[in-house]
């Protein structure tokens, strides 16, 4: 069974609070990241209850947080809640952990300032922590599309709740476009909308969102690791609760596995992957940066050359994922050359065990564990359970697949 989607959970939690009533979120992903969003909503006036299988949110009206909101390691929490804070008349302070305060915020901040928000940086210019106050108003803003789609998702959600209509112009090429599609998908499920135009979006102000309950779909980003495990070993892995009609960009893992040569079969709600003769591919990861580490492992195992490109925004994730992915694969014996926007891999080598440093990045931990499945000796991964950020069930699911993983503290 696929883990619930982190992207859908974040957005449904925020929109559930904006319904200004009672809302139940079924099958949410209760990870460290989504808990940060839930805690932020609670600090801004929402009552939160329920269980890990169904979260209840009731909010009559959001209010500025009396204390500093700690987004922890969650870039999505930081970006979405900055947009929400810009709707409120008094100042809200937001911060995060050591990794998050190094991640960019300037494109979102600049776009909100064009709508009249008061935003000040409390540390390094262009990065958290921030102090934000609104309410935003005005007909037009512009936001850079080339750094993070989370900026665009944040401002689209916020603009549905400001009083007047907004034209949101996107500057340059939009990266990670499928995550904006997820935002639009959830927004429409709550009765909201943002109309795409030639150079961005048009958003009606004062939208009344409504939804009594919502069920989070399965997550392709997390399922990619299990499916790739089926492809690189002699195993046969089926992941259920994956909607093949989903707008999730990471659904592309299905076609990528087929392209590498894995045996992949799908139904309307499941994907099955098993080994085949894997051969290298050229893949543009502009819209699917979260797949980069797992695709790099597949490239190291496959015969021939794999080229991953288009991932300039990989430099601004929980780690510089181009550098960290290159480092752990090289440590395990792979031939990898980093490029400005990805890497080139000469595959077909036998990987060996190594000591891997994840730099606290959950996707590097999971990709290194995947590589460890086909290494000739044990792999030790130095990490403090960062997988709980996005995939709390990772160890359990890997154990079910027969992978021997042991956490040592």
Identify which of 39, 28, 40, 147 has the alpha carbon closest to the alpha carbon of residue 84: 40
Q: Is 234 exposed, middle or buried (0-12, 13-18, 19+ CB in 10 A)?
A: exposed
3-state SS of the chain is CCCECHHHHHHHHHHHHCCCCEEEEECCCCCHHHHHHHHHHHHCCCEEEECCCEEEEECCCCCCCCCCEECCCCHHHHHHHHHHHCCCCCCEEEECCCCHHHCCCHHHHHHHHCCCCEEEECCCCCCCCEEEECCCCCCEEEEECCCCHHHHHHHHHHHHHCCCCEEEEEECCCCCHHHHHHHHHHHHHCCCCCEEECCEEEECCCCCCCCCEEECCECHHHHHHHHHHHHHCCCEEEEECCCCCCCCHHHHHHHHHHHHCCEEEECCCEEEEECCCCECCEEECCCCHHHHHHHHHHHHHCEEEEEEECCHHHHHCCCCHHHHHHHHHHHCCCEEEEECCEEEEEECCCCCCCEEECCCCHHHHHHHHHHHHCCCCCCEEECCCHHHHCCCCHHHHHHHCCCCCCCCC
Catalytic annotation present for 290? yes
| Angle between helix 106-113 and helix 75-85 axes, rounded to 10 deg | 10
Q: How far is residue 343's CA from residue 340's CA, in Å, rounded to a whole number?
A: 8
Question: ω into residue 129 within 30 of 0, thus cis?
Answer: yes
- Give the C-alpha distances (Å, rounded to integers) separating 266 from 47, 182, 227, 254: 40, 22, 12, 9
Residue of 287, 290, 383, 397 marked catalytic = 290
Pairing of the two strands 335-339 and 282-284 = unpaired
What are the residue numbers of the active site? 290
């Amino acid at each position: 069974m696929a883990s619930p989607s982190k992207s859908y959970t974040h957005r449904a939690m925020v929109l559930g609070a904006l319904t200004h009533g009672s809302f139940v979120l079924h099958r949410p992903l209760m990870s460290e990241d989504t808990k940060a969003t839930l805690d932020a909503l609670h600090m801004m006036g929402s009552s939160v209850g329920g269980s890990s299988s169904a979260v209840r949110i009731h909010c009559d009206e959001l209010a500025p947080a009396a204390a500093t909101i700690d987004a922890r390691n969650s870039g999505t929490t930081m970006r979405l809640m900055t947009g929400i804070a810009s709707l409120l008349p008094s100042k809200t302070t937001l911060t995060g952990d050591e990794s998050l305060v190094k991640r960019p915020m300037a494109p979102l901040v600049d776009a909100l300032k064009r709508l009249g928000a008061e935003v000040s940086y409390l540390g390094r210019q262009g990065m958290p922590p921030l102090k934000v106050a609104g309410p935003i108003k005005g007909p037009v803003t512009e936001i850079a599309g080339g750094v993070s789609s989370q900026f665009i998702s944040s401002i689209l959600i916020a603009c549905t709740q400001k009083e007047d209509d907004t034209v949101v112009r996107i500057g340059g090429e939009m990266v990670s476009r499928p995550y904006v599609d997820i935002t639009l998908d959830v927004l429409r499920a709550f009765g909201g909308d943002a109309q795409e135009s030639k150079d961005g979006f048009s958003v009606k102000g004062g939208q009344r969102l409504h939804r009594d309950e919502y069920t989070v779909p399965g997550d392709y980003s997390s399922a990619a690791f299990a499916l790739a495990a089926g492809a690189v070993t002699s195993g046969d892995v089926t992941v259920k609760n994956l909607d093949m009609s989903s707008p999730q960009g990471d659904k592309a893992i299905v076609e990528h596995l087929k392209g590498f040569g894995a045996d992949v079969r799908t139904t309307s709600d499941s994907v099955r992957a098993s080994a085949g003769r894997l051969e290298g591919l050229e893949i543009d990861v502009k819209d699917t940066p979260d797949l980069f580490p797992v695709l790099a492992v597949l490239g190291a195992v496959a015969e021939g050359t794999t080229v991953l490109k288009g991932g300039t925004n990989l430099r601004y994730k929980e780690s510089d994922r181009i550098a960290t992915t290159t480092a752990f694969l090289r440590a395990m014996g792979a031939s990898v050359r980093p490029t400005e926007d990805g890497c080139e891999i000469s595959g077909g080598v036998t990987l060996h065990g190594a000591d891997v440093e994840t730099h606290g990045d959950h996707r590097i931990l999971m990709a290194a564990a995947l590589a460890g499945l086909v290494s000739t000796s044990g792999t030790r991964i130095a990490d403090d359970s960062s997988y709980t950020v996005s995939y709390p069930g990772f160890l359990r699911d890997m154990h079910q697949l027969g992978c021997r993983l042991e956490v040592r503290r």
